[in-house]
Amino acid sequence: MLLFFILGLLVHFVFFTSIFDIYFTSPLVHGMTPQFTSLPPPARRLVLFVADGLRADSLYELDENGNSRAPFIRNIIMHEGSWGISHTRVPTESRPGHVALIAGFYEDVSAVAKGWKENPVEFDSLLNESKYTWGWGSPDILSMFAKDVSGDHVFIHTYDADDEDFGAHDVTKLDTWVFDNVKEFFRAARNNQSLFSKLNEEKIVFFLHLLGIDTNGHAHRPSSREYKDNIKIVDAGIKEIVSMFKHFYGNDGKTAFVFTADHGMTDWGVHGAGHPSETLTPFVTWGAGIKYPQNVSTQQFEDAFLKEWKLENWKRQDINQADIAPLMASLIGVPFPLNSVGILPLDYLNNTDLFKAESIFTNAIQILEQFKVKMTQKKEVTLSFLFTPFKFQVIQDLVASLLSCPPSHFVGYLLVSTLGIEVLVLSFFYRYMLTAGLIAFAGWPFITQLWTRAKRTSLNWIFFSLLLAVFPLMPVVGRKPDISLVMTAGLLVLLLSLFVVASLTKRKDSFVNEELLLHLLQMLSMVLSMYVVYSTDNSLLKKQGLPLINQIISWIILASSFVLPLLSPPILFERLFSILLSLMSTYILLSRGYEALFPLVLSCLMFAWIHMEQETLQQSGVSCKQKINSIQFIYNTDLTQFRQLCLDDIRRAFFLVFFLVTAFFGTGNIASVNSFDVTSVYCFLTVFSPFIMGALMMWKILIPFVLVMCAFEAVQLTTQLSSKGLFLMVLVISDIMALHFFFLVRDYGSWLDIGTSISHYVIVMSMTMVLVFLNGLAQLLTTKKLTLCGKPKSHLI
């Protein structure tokens, strides 16, 4: 039996890892020959300004007084250069955006495992092809392009990573730091002959990464005064830098300037997906080799931006983000980045037809080189008779064969394959399917005898099923923060706690001081959590940062939440309620809106579920039905107490899977970075720390799972259900679901598209393994008993 279990886990592990080998091996190739035109370039140097997180509309639109927030850039559009919208691709994150800008290709799918911090594979870039490059800005971005470059010619200047503080009083200093250091750099160059000579070489690049706008957008939203004022600061800084370049180089007319953004931002202050506010970024270029403004009478665009921005008479030339890299390479005469897939936008160039023809031909050869190398590599590792073009006629034949079946058979197969399991599959794509499922659950008592025999229990089940059904219909968490809802959730928990304490005091003659003290301590923890959330929110709104005392209290509450439940009696109801109180104190600290109510409602439904399963025992004729108030969690369970599986256990396994899926998607899509709101961890820290922030958000996600599994521990105990039998049924359900998601895995699109397709498959394939972990954690929380005052530890047998 053990051998088959190990073999089963091994097979599932192979299938689990197979998608990463099939879909997420890097498509980048190496060994191409650099391609560049032999004609002299129009510019000797290039200055690239990247305003991280800047939306196109935020830059181009006029304010309420009819004035531009960026008067210098607008003057460039009208009198000196060319402009348009840069269409970014998903995922709209900093790493892939900068890779597209500077290297000319869209995010390598193998980077899904490393985020945007590191290069998953080596790739060529404009900075690598330049003779010299100097960069200023964020260490996260600049280090990415300075690492593994060939030669010692890329020099970066960065501020400390701790300066990227979302709770700082003034994050515009991230941009003013860049401008000040660039000016100081050029002042020092006049007294440094070696540096001065390098600065007067050709084929050099200056890269200014400006992070303030993105940071203000995350902290205050793009509609905020802070975000818009930051645009003004960036505009003024660019004006000074441009003036300094002209003065330093004696107005030689050999400098090309590019201003753009890596990605935009949603109204609720996040990015990563494909909303137009995230994918539409500004692009303005001027100087050597760039066309001057072109006045036009009419322009044909599907959107109404030109009229909104009062730019109808200045020719707008939109561009794909990856096309910017070959444009910059053409301007200073360096080889096109070897891995670039960008196409040179000829309409931006102010040069001869010969130069344009040579450049676009070189661009085509450079892209063709990648295809040739890829073809050669593929042939070398593939058997010759298998190296044939893919025929799409395969899918068509499948569809044709299905349609050729008799209608009655086809409908029968369709109904059988969609009943039950398909509801769970659809819920991964459409959250409202969870609502439909919970509404169906509410009708469970009416199709059994539970309604007539246990009306009060049935009413509780119906009420909380319908109440929980509201959450999947709500907007994704983080888009509309509302601290008042967090406070409401805390107050409801406190009221429930008072009711439970009063009830236990009346019911139990042996309600000792230890137990009362524990309940009061957990209630105090909840009060402190509410105070910290309210106080921290006010402090950040006043730009006073995260108070140290709030930070200390938050970490103490988090640490105590793992210990306090273990001090409560192992009686079923008391232990479950103690777990709820401790976990809710932490969840409140990590909440920013309506999601604070979710674990509370979910737990109430779990309590109702336990009572409902108790009632089904009597209906099914199982003897020795115990009162819930007398049932105790037991660590060493007698295996002889377990019964044979019955049809009702399939329903219980389905309920468990459904509640776990609801815990995943009840308040949003955990597969998407875009669903996370970094402000949810501000009670613990505000300085950017991806590992700590990620761990805190992961614990926030796990809390509802722990509540579900603790409740199911009680269901297993009251119904005498074997864990092995449970895992067998969950394995069958998850494997059927996995067949759907295996063929839906995607290796293109946004982090939302890629991450969602991966996570769907990973979730169902790892459901059994995760269930083992969660079951162990739930057993620890429900059965382990610690004692105060040095009393001996004991287990109930």
Instruction: Based on DSSP, count helices (H) and strands (E) in the chain, helices before strands.
Output: 30, 8
Q: Are 335 and 329 in contact, with CB atoms under 8 Å apart?
A: yes
Q: What mean pLDDT value characterizes the chain?
A: 84
- Walk across the sheet containing 319-320 and list its strands: 154-158, 132-137, 204-210, 45-51, 255-260, 280-287, 82-87, 319-320
DSSP track, 204-225: EEEEEEE-HHHHHHHHH-TTSH
Bond into 345 cis (ω within 30): no
Measure CA 386 to chain center: 39
617: confidence class by pLDDT, cuts 50, 70, 90: confident
Q: Does residue 792 surpass a pLDDT of 50? A: no
379 vs 562, which has greater pLDDT? 562
Q: Which residues is 204 bridged to in the sheet?
A: 45, 132
672: confidence class by pLDDT, cuts 50, 70, 90: very low
Q: 173-202: per-residue pLDDT in tens? A: 999 999 999 999 999 999 999 999 999 999
554: confidence class by pLDDT, cuts 50, 70, 90: very high
What whole-number distance in Å separates Cα of residue 309 and Cα of residue 290? 23
Q: Does residue 350 surpass a pLDDT of 80? A: yes
Token pair belonging to 142: 């600049």
Q: Does residue 239 surpass a pLDDT of 80? A: yes
What whole-number distance in Å separates Cα of residue 689 and Cα of residue 414? 49
The mean pLDDT value for 146-175 works out to: 82
- Say what the pLDDT of residue 143 is: 85
- Say what the pLDDT of residue 118 is: 54
Q: Are 575 and 782 in contact, with CB atoms under 8 Å apart?
A: yes
- Say what the pLDDT of residue 466 is: 95
Token pair belonging to 440: 């169906």
- Say what the pLDDT of residue 742 is: 81
690: confidence class by pLDDT, cuts 50, 70, 90: confident
Q: Does residue 701 surpass a pLDDT of 80? A: yes
| Nearest one of 188, 192, 183 to 244, comparing CA atoms | 183
Return the percentage of the chain with pLDDT > 90, whole number: 46
What whole-number distance in Å separates Cα of residue 427 and Cα of residue 445? 23
Q: Does residue 405 surpass a pLDDT of 70? A: no
411: confidence class by pLDDT, cuts 50, 70, 90: low
Q: Does residue 20 surpass a pLDDT of 50? A: yes
Q: 242-251: per-residue pLDDT in tens? A: 999 999 999 9
Q: Does residue 589 surpass a pLDDT of 80? A: yes
- Say what the pLDDT of residue 638 is: 47
Q: Are 575 and 786 in contact, with CB atoms under 8 Å apart?
A: no
What whole-number distance in Å separates Cα of residue 589 and Cα of residue 350? 57
Q: Are 526 and 500 in contact, with CB atoms under 8 Å apart?
A: no
Q: Does residue 229 surpass a pLDDT of 90? A: yes
644: confidence class by pLDDT, cuts 50, 70, 90: low
| Nearest one of 655, 267, 683, 759 to 475, comparing CA atoms | 267
- Say what the pLDDT of residue 16 is: 72
- Say what the pLDDT of residue 797 is: 31
- Say what the pLDDT of residue 204 is: 97
- Say what the pLDDT of residue 791 is: 47
112: confidence class by pLDDT, cuts 50, 70, 90: low
Name residue, tokens 């106080």. Answer: 535
- Say what the pLDDT of residue 321 is: 97
Q: Does residue 622 surpass a pLDDT of 60? A: no
Token pair belonging to 333: 């005469």
Q: Does residue 480 surpass a pLDDT of 80? A: no
Residue type, 616: T
Question: How many beta carbons lie within 10 A of that of residue 703, not counting itself?
Answer: 20
324 vs 569, which has greater pLDDT? 324
What whole-number distance in Å separates Cα of residue 183 and Cα of residue 395? 61
- Say what the pLDDT of residue 614 is: 84
Q: Does residue 385 surpass a pLDDT of 80? A: no
Q: Does residue 97 surpass a pLDDT of 50? A: yes
Q: Does residue 395 surpass a pLDDT of 80? A: no
771 vs 41, which has greater pLDDT? 41
796: confidence class by pLDDT, cuts 50, 70, 90: very low
> Helix, strand, coil: what percent of the chain each, to 5?
60, 5, 35
Question: Which of the residue ranges 25-29, 36-40, 551-555 would you say has the lowest mean pLDDT?
Answer: 25-29
712-722 in b/e form (b: 16+ CB < 10 A) is bbbbbbbbebb
148 vs 156, which has greater pLDDT? 156
391: confidence class by pLDDT, cuts 50, 70, 90: low
Q: 49-95: per-residue pLDDT in tens? A: 999 999 999 999 999 999 999 999 999 999 999 999 999 988 888 88
Q: 317-339: per-residue pLDDT in tens? A: 999 999 999 999 999 999 999 99
DSSP track, 702-748: HHHHHHHHHHHHHHHHHHT--HHHHHHHHHHHHHHHHHHHHTT--SS
* pTM tops 0.85, yes or no: no
- Say what the pLDDT of residue 121 is: 61
412 vs 320, which has greater pLDDT? 320
- Say what the pLDDT of residue 739 is: 80
587: confidence class by pLDDT, cuts 50, 70, 90: very high
Question: Which of the residue ranges 111-115, 147-151, 183-187, 550-554 would you say has the lowest mean pLDDT?
Answer: 111-115
772 vs 641, which has greater pLDDT? 772
Q: Does residue 277 surpass a pLDDT of 50? A: yes
Return the percentage of the chain with pLDDT > 70, whole number: 84
Which ranges constitute the DSSP H helices of 92-172? Answer: 94-103, 126-129, 139-146
